Amino acid sequence: MTTHYMDEADVLGDRIGIMHSGKLTCVGSSLFLKTKFGVGYNLCISKNDNGLKKFVADYFGKEVNCLSETETQIVYQLLHDQSPRFEKFFKELD
């Protein structure tokens, strides 16, 4: 089976092969590939006030990257090494 979507491959297969220019370049589990080549997590938040951006920036500092923003939603990219801070972040966000 082939797909262009990593999230689809993640759900359908226990091992994923990545091809580049017609050659198999890497094979492994989803977790292995995400750890080795991934950039982190996407945090998608529905906006309901203007303090959200400041809260996220204060919490994660310069290590947070805004991927996209609309009138109602904002998406940040968080690095793998920030995951130990997620539990406290979500409690404070709530």
- The string of pLDDT tens digits covering residues 22-34 is 999 999 998 888 7
Residue 71: pLDDT above 80?
yes
Report yes or no: 64 and 56 within 8 Å, Cβ to Cβ: yes
pLDDT value for 23: 94
pLDDT value for 15: 92
DSSP state of 77: E
pLDDT value for 27: 94
Q: Where are the beta strands (DSSP E) in the chain?
A: 16-20, 23-28, 41-46, 65-69, 73-78
- Does 37 or 67 have the greater pLDDT score? 67
**Percentage of the chain exceeding pLDDT 90:** 16
pLDDT value for 33: 86
Query: What are 52's two structure tokens?
Result: 């959200």
**Percentage of the chain exceeding pLDDT 70:** 98
Q: Determine the Cα–Cα distance for residues 55 and 51; give it in Å rounded to an integer.
A: 6
